[in-house]
Every structure is written in C-alpha cells, then in structure tokens.
C-alpha cells in the first residue's frame, strides 16, 4: 500500500475545501435573497416545494454518481433549504414593515446571557443581521413591562416545549398585555450537564437548574437520586452559581453554547427525556406587524365563549366553515371568574386574508370576548422529502401508485372500528419520521436489543443505506438493563435518522419501552392479552399488532378493535405467518389473509416474511405482498451480516420498486 501523505497536509486540504464550501454557501444565501426580491415583485409564495423536490432529486442522483449517500445529501440540503426559506421570510417581513428595520434591537428575555431565551433571541437577531442589545429580566412580567415602557424593542417569551408542554404563566401574562405577537422562533434545547473543566459526573453532589429543564430531564435525574437539586430563576443563574462555586462537586443544566459563556464544559449531553427537545418562543412588541401574503402566517387569538353546551364547538365550526386550520388550542382560567376559561388559538392564516376576516366577524358575534394577539410569519419549515424509491433506486424506476382503496365490506348495523364501513378513508400512522398507510410505505429492521454498541454505528449506516426507516428491537427482557440499552440504541439510531420501535413479547417489557421508542410492536404471542391491548390502546404512541400464528383474520381484527376502542387510532397490523400443516417450526405466510385484511380494514398492514419463508424467497414474497397492497415490511436482520449484498437489500428493492 502507498504511504499516505502526512496528516497535516491532508487536513490543510480539508480546511481549504471547508472554506470553499462556506464561501459557496454564503454565495447561495445571496442568490436566495435575490430570489426573495423577485418574489416580492411578482408576489409569489416564498416556499416552492415542487422546485425543492426537483432540486433534491437531481442532487441525490448527482451525489450518488460521486459516491455520496443519498440520505446524507438529502439531509444536508434540507438544512440548507430551511435556512434559505427562513432568510427569505425574514427579508420579506422586514421589507413589509420598514419601521422595524434597525441597526440593533434591544431584547428583553428571561435570565442572563447563556439562558435558552438569550440563545433564541440571538438566533432571531442573527437571521435579521441586526446587533442585539440584551436586557436580562427576572420574570415574564418584567419582560412585558420592559417592552411596554419602551426600554426594549422586543420581548422573548417561551410558550411551549416539546417535552414539558405549554408554559401556563406566559399565557396568563398575555391575557393582560397590550403588546402584540410579531414573531416566533423555535430552538433545539440540548440539555447538558455543565461543570467546571475537569469535573467528573460522578463527583456531582449539587445540581442547579431552572424548574423547566428539571421537568424535561426527570428521567435522567431519577437515575441520580443522590444529587441534590437547587432551583434557580433561569438556566443562566444556574451556570453563574456553578462558575462562582468554590468546589468541583456542582453542576448546572443548560446548553453547551450557554455554558461556554461561563467557562463551563458539557460533561454529559442529551439529558432531556425526549429525543427531540425544542422550545418555541414568541416575540412581542408594542406595535403589531403586517405579514406579506407570500409568507406562511399564523394568527394567535384569545376568546371567551359563553357557558352553554357546545359553545366552543360552535366557535370551532366557524374555523371549519372558512377552511382554517387551527394548529393549537389552550385554555386558561380567567382570574376573578372561577370555572370560566379563556381559549388561546393558533390559526394557520394571515390576519389580512378574507377567510380569516370573515371568521373573526362571525366569532365576534358568538363569543363574549375576542382579541387578536398578533399575526406573524410561521417559522416551521417542514422538510421536503423524497420517496424511498427515489432514495434507493434510479428515478426512472419510480414505483407504481398504491392500489386504490377497496370497497367497504357489507357489514352489520354497528360496523366494527377496524372496518371500512366505520371509516371509509385509509388510515395513516406516523411514528417519528415514518409515515405508513394510505399509499405511504416503509420498512423496519427487527433485531434483538444488542448487548453493546460495539459495531452498531456501521451497522446502522448499512440499515439506513439499504432503505430501512427504523429498527424494531426485540427480546428486551433478555438484557440486564433494557431501559439503558434502549436509550443508547435509540440515540445511536436517531443520528442516522432511524426511528426506534420496541417489540413487546412479555408484558413487563412495555414499561422499559415507554417514552424511549417511537413505536410499539405487540408480538403475536401477546395478541390475545386483552389487558395489554387495552393498555396500549390508551397510549398516544403508534402500535403495530402482529397476528398470532394460531389466530384467524377475525380474531386479529377483533384484537385491533380492542386497541381502537380504547382510543388509540394509530394502529397497524402485521402479518407474520400462521401455523400450518407444512412445517411445525416454519409458519406459512398468509397471502390470502393479507388480501382479506386490505379488503376489510382501513388499517395499514405490514408483512414480516422472516418466519415463514427462506432468505432467498424473501425478495419474491416482498414483490408479491407489495402487489397485494401491503403498506410495509418488517424484516429480521442480524448485526453481523452485511445488508446491501444479501437477500435483505434485494427484498427492500423488490418492495420499493
Ligand atoms: C430559492 C428559492 O426559494 C425557496 C428555497 C429554495 C432553495 O433554497 O433552493 C427552493 C425553493 C423555495 O422553497 C426558489 O424559489 O428558488
């Protein structure tokens, strides 16, 4: 083998390339703003998902020709496009409100430099390329007063978090303020254990944190019962305390970025219960702003309806009649009037649009009180996706459309919940980034929960490259600490954009899986376990119900009805083969049963051929079940066998073509 060139030389070349990449990104940003200027003149919408899809498909193809992973190329460009869309929005919003165009904004926020509110405000100003003068406050009231009195231009208020939910105090403050909501911004809240350099996690005796991070990291904290918690008014105060402490046995919960401002190191990361932990902030100002019609807009209203049956429904029907989507509904008590509620609504519409104006007029007639808190650009940019087919194979082989919905089965007077007579449209189930049913397909790789993570990352890379959307981890009870092992696997899988599901073969495994996974698969062995079905029916988590090898179709659908009846509508079925005369150990894949399920039920149906057919027959079966309408595959894989070159890769290709 040739001797490689010296490391320092190679690194220099990489540094040069990175500098060029940055220059090109900056140039792309300028061009994107040029596009925004054209859109301003032509009054075109900022977002053009058709253009994004074409661009992604072309880049994935070009990348593939140069040996780049299609998923990597797609994710990279999704981030670039998100940044580009948000920059265009900020530009057009500024142009429509020239009085907001300044060199610097004075921003009132909770805590001090380094708090999450500070980071959110910083991000907001950077996007608008204005300097930030920061005004740290001790409470939400103080923030509102700072803006009302003119000391600050904007106030940043955290309104909700993906783990701990809505922040009630902020809703209460909004009831009384004259300020208007003029913007929103969402930041990733990466909770870390912050300590002085050299501190070990095992040394920590006292932990300083704001109550919100404490509730968002409850599971991590429960694993460290010996640590004393000290509540602080903000994450910044917690960091200050650690910086000022004499000893090395204290830590704070906060962001790595914030910690750096206090010379603290993140000695552990990813403390939050939820893998995706984001906080949404609203931006308040003295004067409301106009949102140009090319921008996706949101309106926040508060209203009090009368105390009569159906009053809220009546109000919501007004939104329906005007084809308006409500993305959030909250209720808070009205001070001084016990048991009366003030409702907060986020509506995906521009205040100036005719449907919104019509709806407001109608709502004024039927409510006791109504006020628009503000209209502002919506900052959520849902990434444009390519289909599995586009990511796996050449574009000219795009798969055929899903088979049309089958006719409802003639049914009794009370149609069963699983039936098409009960629900005529095909159901979809969403588990993290995976969408299945109603024409959406996907595949999951099933394997025993691994003992160690050795070699796991290269394995996940292969799983992702083969086209799997996630993992189903089984045999949880075989592990000494299934919760910890699941956490670690889910974290690793997430890095590759894979979802994690748990296969429940023994009832007690469910406890370990809850809130660690995005999907629960009830193994066929548990299909007749009514209490377990009722339990998962009460979960707000998608469920796959596998058919027991001895169960007929009616029994499977009956079990499905137990789950649906308990409330959980995110249900999928899985055909994994039934016992037959052919072999005592091998199941028979019931293709007739699959056709029956698709004809009788609106539920997505997955197929796992692994127990029924030999490895080399899997690709043929995948092709067949696809044609019979299967919505997805579950395939058993092993950690050691390469995926792309064996029957697994071919099985996926046959299914997705
Ligand atoms: C740049 C544009 O605006 C948006 C951003 C895109 C991008 O950054 O590539 C693509 C489409 C639009 O959603 C455009 O319309 O071309």
pLDDT digits (tens, 9 = 90+) for 545-555: 999 988 899 99
Interval 228-248: pLDDT, tens: 999 998 899 999 999 999 989
Give the Å distance between the CA of 82 and the centre of ligand 1. Answer: 9
Q: Tell me, which fold does domain 192-271 have in CATH? A: D-Maltodextrin-Binding Protein; domain 2 (3.40.190)
Choose one of 84, 87, 91, 92 to mutate for the ligand 1 pocket test, by most ligand atoms within 8 angstroms of C-beta: 84
Domain limits, CATH 3.30.70.260, in the chain:
290-380
How does DSSP classify residue 499? E
Contact status, residue 543 vs residue 574, Cβ threshold 8 Å: no
- 3-class DSSP state for residue 318? helix
Calculate the alpha carbon distances from 472 to 563, 600, 634 in Å: 20, 27, 8
Nearest atom within ligand 1 for CA of residue 31: 1
- 3-class DSSP state for residue 314? helix
Give the Å distance between the CA of 132 and the centre of ligand 1. Answer: 28
Atom 10, ligand 1: which residue's CA is nearest?
52
Q: Which of 160-169, 196-205, 584-593 has the highest mean pLDDT?
A: 196-205
Return d(Cα 543, Cα 510) in angstroms, integer.
Answer: 12
Average pLDDT (478-498) is: 92
Domain limits, CATH 3.40.190.10, in the chain:
192-271
Residue 1 pLDDT grade (very low, low, confident, very high; cuts 50, 70, 90): low
Contact status, residue 191 vs residue 271, Cβ threshold 8 Å: yes
| pLDDT of residue 410 exceeding 70 | no
Choose one of 76, 81, 92 to mutate for the ligand 1 pocket test, by most ligand atoms within 8 angstroms of C-beta: 81
Environment class of residue 136 by beta-carbon count within 10 Å: exposed (0-12), middle (13-18) or buried (19+)?
A: buried
Interval 133-147: pLDDT, tens: 999 999 999 999 999
Q: Report the chain's mean pLDDT, rounded to a whole number.
A: 91
Count each helix (H run) and each strand (E run) in the chain, helices first: 21, 25
| pLDDT of residue 198 exceeding 70 | yes
Instruction: State whether CATH 3.30.70.260 applies to domain 290-380.
Output: yes
Give the Å distance between the CA of 85 and the centre of ligand 1. Answer: 7
Average pLDDT (396-416) is: 52
Residue 644's pLDDT is what? 65
Q: How many residues does the chain have?
A: 657
257 alpha-carbon distance from chain centroid: 22
Atom 1, ligand 1: which residue's CA is nearest?
32
Interval 279-297: pLDDT, tens: 999 999 999 999 999 999 9
Element (H, E) at 512: helix 509-513
Give the Å distance between the CA of 391 and the centre of ligand 1. Answer: 21
Return d(Cα 506, Cα 324) in angstroms, integer.
Answer: 45
Q: Is 450 left (phi over 0), alpha (psi -120 to 50) or beta?
A: beta
Q: Which of 405, 418, 411, 438 has the alpha carbon at shortest distance from 557?
A: 418
Q: Which CATH number fits domain 22-96: 1.20.1300.10, 1.10.3720.10, 1.10.10.60, 1.20.59.10?
A: 1.20.59.10
Taking the alpha carbons at both ends of the chain, their separation in whole angstroms is 40
Residue 582's pLDDT is what? 61
Domain limits, CATH 1.20.59.10, in the chain:
22-96
Residue 393's pLDDT is what? 55
Domain limits, CATH 3.20.20.70, in the chain:
442-656
Calculate the alpha carbon distances from 483 to 249, 452, 457 in Å: 27, 13, 19
Nearest atom within ligand 1 for CA of residue 39: 15
Choose one of 37, 51, 77 to mutate for the ligand 1 pocket test, by most ligand atoms within 8 angstroms of C-beta: 51
What are phi and psi for residue 346, nearest 5 degrees? -105, 125
Residue 375 pLDDT grade (very low, low, confident, very high; cuts 50, 70, 90): very high
Total-model pTM: 0.72
Calculate the alpha carbon distances from 568 to 251, 428, 535 in Å: 41, 13, 10
Residue 402 pLDDT grade (very low, low, confident, very high; cuts 50, 70, 90): very low
Q: For 169-185, give the DSSP string.
A: HHHHHHHH---EEEEEE
Residue 647's pLDDT is what? 87
Q: 162-196 burial, b for 16+ CB within 10 Å, e for fewer?
A: bbbebbeebbbbbeebebbbbbbbbbebbbbbbbb
| pLDDT of residue 560 exceeding 60 | yes
Give the Å distance between the CA of 48 and the centre of ligand 1. Answer: 6
- The architecture that CATH gives domain 442-656 is Alpha-Beta Barrel (3.20)
Choose one of 55, 86, 88 to mutate for the ligand 1 pocket test, by most ligand atoms within 8 angstroms of C-beta: 88
Residue 163's pLDDT is what? 81
Ligand 1 is surrounded, with C-beta below 6 A, by 32, 35, 47-48, 51-52, 55, 81, 84-85, 88
Compute the chain's Rg from CA coordinates. 27
């Amino acid at each position: 083998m040739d001797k490689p060139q010296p490391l320092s030389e190679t690194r220099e070349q990489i540094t040069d390339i990175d500098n060029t990449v940055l220059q090109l990104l900056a140039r792309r940003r300028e061009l994107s703003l040029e596009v925004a200027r054209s859109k301003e003149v032509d009054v075109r919408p900022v977002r053009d998902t058709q253009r994004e899809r074409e661009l992604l498909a072309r880049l994935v193809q070009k990348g593939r020709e140069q040996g780049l992973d299609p998923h990597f190329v797609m994710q990279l460009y999704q981030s670039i496009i998100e940044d580009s869309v948000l920059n265009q929005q900020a530009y057009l919003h500024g142009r429509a409100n020239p009085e907001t165009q300044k060199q610097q904004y004075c921003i009132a926020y909770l805590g001090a430099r380094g708090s999450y509110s500070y980071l959110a405000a910083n991000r907001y100003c950077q996007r608008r390329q204005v300097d930030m003068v920061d005004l740290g406050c001790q409470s939400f009231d103080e923030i509102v007063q700072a803006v009302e009195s003119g000391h600050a231009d904007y106030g940043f208020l955290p309104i909700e978090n993906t783990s701990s939910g809505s922040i009630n105090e902020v809703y209460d403050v909004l009831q009384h303020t004259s300020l208007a909501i003029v913007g929103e911004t969402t930041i990733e809240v990466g909770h870390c254990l912050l300590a002085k350099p050299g501190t070990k996690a095992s040394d920590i005796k006292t932990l300083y944190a704001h109550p919100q991070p404490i509730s968002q990291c409850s599971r991590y904290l429960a694993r460290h019962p010996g640590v004393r918690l000290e509540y602080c008014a903000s994450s910044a105060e917690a960091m200050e305390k650690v910086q000022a402490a004499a000893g090395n046995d204290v830590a704070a919960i906060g962001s790595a970025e914030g910690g750096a401002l206090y010379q603290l190191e993140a000695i552990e990361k990813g403390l939050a219960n939820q893998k995706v932990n984001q906080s949404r902030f609203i931006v308040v100002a003295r004067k409301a702003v106009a949102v140009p019609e090319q921008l996706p807009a949101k309106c926040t209203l508060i209203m009090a309806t009368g105390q009569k049956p159906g009053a809220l429904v009546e109000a919501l029907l007004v939104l329906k009649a005007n084809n308006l989507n409500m993305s959030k509904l909250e209720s808070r008590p009205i001070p001084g009037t016990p048991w009366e509620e003030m409702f907060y609504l986020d509506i995906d519409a521009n205040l100036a649009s005719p449907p919104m104006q019509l709806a407001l007029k109608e709502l004024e007639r039927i409510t006791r009180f109504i006020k628009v808190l503000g209209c502002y650009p919506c900052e959520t940019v849902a990434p444009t996706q390519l289909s599995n087919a586009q990511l796996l194979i050449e574009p000219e082989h795009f798969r055929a459309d899903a088979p049309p919905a089958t006719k409802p089965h003639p049914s009794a007077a009370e149609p069963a919940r699983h039936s098409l007579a009960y629900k005529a449209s095909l159901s979809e189930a969403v588990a993290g980034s995976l969408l299945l049913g109603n024409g959406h397909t996907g595949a999951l790789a099933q394997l025993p929960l691994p003992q160690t993570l050795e070699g796991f990352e290269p394995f996940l890379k292969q799983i992702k490259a083969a086209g799997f959307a996630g993992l189903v981890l089984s045999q949880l009870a075989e592990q000494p600490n299934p919760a910890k092992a699941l956490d670690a696997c889910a974290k690793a899988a997430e890095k590759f954009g894979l979802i994690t599901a748990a296969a429940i073969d023994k009832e007690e495994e469910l406890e370990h899986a809850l809130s660690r996974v995005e999907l629960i698969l009830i193994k066929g062995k548990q299909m007749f376990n009514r209490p377990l079905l009722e339990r998962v029916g009460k979960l707000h988590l998608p469920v796959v119900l596998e058919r027991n090898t001895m169960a007929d179709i009616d029994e499977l659908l009956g079990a499905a009805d137990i789950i649906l009846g308990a409330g959980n509508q995110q249900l999928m079925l899985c055909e994994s083969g039934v016992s037959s005369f052919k072999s005592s150990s091998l199941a028979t894949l019931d293709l007739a049963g699959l056709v029956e399920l698709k004809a009788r039920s609106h539920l997505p149906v997955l197929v796992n051929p692994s127990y029924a057919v030999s490895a080399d027959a899997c690709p043929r079966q995948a092709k067949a079940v696809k044609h019979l309408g299967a919505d997805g595959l579950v395939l058993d894989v092993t950690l050691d066998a390469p995926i792309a070159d064996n029957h697994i890769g071919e099985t996926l290709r046959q299914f997705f073509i």
